[in-house]
Amino acid sequence: ISYWGKIEGIANDYYILKGWDEYLGQKKFFYSTDCEEWALMPDADPQVENIVKYEQSLFTGDPSTKGKYKEEKRLSYIVRTIEEQCGLVPSGYLYLTATHEIRINEAWKGLTQAESLQMSNYLHEIYPKDPYTRRNLEVKGIKPGPKFLDDASIDKPIGAWSLQYNSIVDLVVLRSVKYPGFSLFLRPNTREWGQIYIGKGIFDIDIAFTLPAVPKEQTGPLLLEKIIAEDKEEERKKKEKEEEERKAAEAAAAEENAEEEQEA
């Protein structure tokens, strides 16, 4: 069980917990307005979906509020939708066993700085929709492929994610444009990462008009190329230093041998 986030309301805020038995399995959600008494969130109601899908009004903070539907049902739909569309894990954090079970990779050391700036290295924590990816997960007897979850690089619309790197604190932050309030943070070259939603639980209905003409993710390769170049330069300097140290050690050894021969 983990803390999922908070949906802000007029009178009260909803605090959300998420529980699960296994990855890609059925998830249970619990909500509270005071963090003392918790209630199990009802399953999604298909009849409510079409009504609340693009609802732009604020939550009241009272789950019993009634209109065309109880606010509790709208809360359930929004939380599950955000989880389905925004819930991500870094590439390599999970692995598929020979028996096609998903486990946490204890040997995972995190994403490199270059990898953390590629959307393809953030995977959706839901059952894959891509047929080739799904095949790696479903077909028993086949050696598990490297990819068994859909990645966020193919999400629609283009530009639905904002990926930023803060060099001062060495932190990558991935934010959803469709559901403002969802954020994933990751510190390169470490196992430190997490995600949370803190917002009003409202889909940005104006997203088609707010996206830039050139999606921000297309500017990513410029920063990515710079980081890759810096990594290569750092590696080159490291090798040069190692070579200099090796030559110095050989020279010292040769000089020591020469002195020993003279003494002999």
Q: What is the pLDDT of residues 137-160, one digit of tens each?
A: 887 765 655 688 999 998 888 889
- pLDDT value at 220 more than 60: no
188 in the same domain as 70: no
111 in the same domain as 57: no
CA-based end-to-end distance of the chain: 75
- pLDDT value at 171 more than 80: yes
What pLDDT is recorded for position 256? Answer: 78
Give Cβ neighbours of residue 107 (< 8 Å, ≥ 6 apart).
none
Residue 262, in any domain of the structure: no
Q: Give the C-alpha separation, 247 to 116, whole Å.
A: 37
219 in the same domain as 107: yes
- Give 232 or 93, the one with higher predicted confidence: 93
- Distance from chain centroid for Cα 138: 23
80-95 per-position pLDDT tens digit:
999 999 999 999 999 8
Q: Look at residues 86, 113, 132 and tell me which one is the last residue of a structural domain.
A: 86
Burial grade of 161 (CB within 10 A; 0-12, 13-18, 19 or more): buried
Residue 261, in any domain of the structure: no
Residue 233, in any domain of the structure: no
- Give 61 or 234, the one with higher predicted confidence: 61
What pLDDT is recorded for position 89? Answer: 95
Q: Look at residues 55, 71, 86 and tell me which one is the last residue of a structural domain.
A: 86
93 in the same domain as 28: no
What pLDDT is recorded for position 23? Answer: 81
124 in the same domain as 202: yes
**Share above pLDDT 70 across residues of the chain, in percent, rounded to a whole number:** 90
Residue 166, in any domain of the structure: yes
127 in the same domain as 191: yes
Residue 129 phi/psi, 5-degree rounding, is -100, -30
- Give 14 or 66, the one with higher predicted confidence: 14
109 in the same domain as 33: no
Residue 82, in any domain of the structure: yes
Ranking 58-72, 139-153, 163-177, 206-220 by mean pLDDT, the lowest is 206-220
Bridging pattern class, strands 2-7 and 193-199: parallel
119 in the same domain as 18: no
Residue 176, in any domain of the structure: yes
In a 3-state reduction of DSSP, which class is residue 69? coil
What pLDDT is recorded for position 46? Answer: 84
What pLDDT is recorded for position 146? Answer: 67
134 in the same domain as 56: no
Amino acid identity of residue 13, one-letter, is: D
133 in the same domain as 152: yes
Residue 259, in any domain of the structure: no
Residues 180-186, mean pLDDT to the nearest whole number: 97
Range of the domain at 75: 2-86
39-88 per-position pLDDT tens digit:
999 998 888 888 888 889 999 999 988 878 889 999 999 999 999 999 99
Q: Give the C-alpha separation, 219 to 174, whole Å.
A: 15
Instruction: Give the pLDDT band of residue 249 (cuts 50, 70, 90).
Output: confident
Q: Total domain count for the chain?
A: 2
The whole-chain average pLDDT of the chain stands at 86
What pLDDT is recorded for position 239? Answer: 83
Confirm if 126 and 24 have CB atoms less than 8 A apart.
Answer: yes
130 in the same domain as 47: no
Residue 19, in any domain of the structure: yes
What pLDDT is recorded for position 218? Answer: 46
- pLDDT value at 215 more than 70: no
Confirm if 111 and 190 have CB atoms less than 8 A apart.
Answer: no
Q: Look at residues 38, 58, 86 and tell me which one is the last residue of a structural domain.
A: 86
211 in the same domain as 106: yes
